[in-house]
Amino acid sequence: MLLTVDLERLEVKEGHLALDAGCGEGRHCFGMLSRGARVVGFDLDFSAMRDASRRLRKEANEAKSFGEMAQGNIYKLPFPDATYDRVICSEVMEHVHSYLDAARELARVTKPGGKLAITIPTATSEHLYLRLGDDYFESPGGHIRIFQPRELANALAKAGLSTTGVGFAHGFHTPYWVLRSIMHLPDADDSALVRAYRQFLIRATGSKLMDRVEKWLNYVCPKSLILYAEKPVRARA
């Protein structure tokens, strides 16, 4: 399973109630469910969740746990304050106009002492794609900003969250998107080279050797950056 967040580092445990805000097809939902957490996925795009929602519910029932997905806006999460033990928000902040408001809403629904993982594309990879063409940023629903890590960390701090660590992921995917950008992004799937690289990515998932290689590449050309954070038990004065 291709995950951006290290669930071991996030300390997702059995019995936790976990939120994946911006869950898409639910890869982190399924990952957290497999670790014994009760899971809620949340996304604005209902079509992305349609099939995954049924599968998540089915697997949760088989595990005698809880798994559900809902549609909605990250600025107005339909949950009470301090609901979740663990919160993931992966590759969302680069799409929203007010990432500070989004961070505040994530902080609101996190329990005191709860942990979060927020992921964004690395600025280096984003600038590289931009130099290769405008399609990556002009596609509908595309990215509206290039983040520096400090900008996101400052937003988390303003939302009342303490950044506790940083991680990097998807070193294999940076060359893939470079290739797609070179091949003209809207038509990239017509390229045999792009299709061959995608097949390599699929085969690499689950390979212990490729996992070790990618961990090395994550220090060289990561596509994603992860900030791990915590909501303090006692609010700052």
Classified as helix, coil or strand, 39 is strand
Tell me the DSSP string of 114-172.
EEEEEEEE-HHHHHHHHHH-SHHHHSTT-------HHHHHHHHHHTT-EEEEEEEE-TT
User: Which residue from 31, 33, 15 is spatially nearest to 84, judged by alpha carbons?
Assistant: 15
Q: Which residues are CB-contacts of 205 (< 8 A; sequence separation ≥ 6)?
A: 1, 2
Mode of pairing for the β-strands spanning 110-121 and 224-230: antiparallel
pLDDT at 207: 87
- Give residue-wise pLDDT tens across range 106-150: 999 999 999 999 999 999 888 888 788 766 666 656 787 888 889
- Looking at the chain, the whole-number percentage of residues with pLDDT higher than 70 is 94
Q: Which domains does the chain have, with CATH numbers?
A: 1-122+148-169+224-237 (3.40.50.150)
Residue ranges of the chain with per-residue pLDDT less than 70: 1, 134-141, 235-237
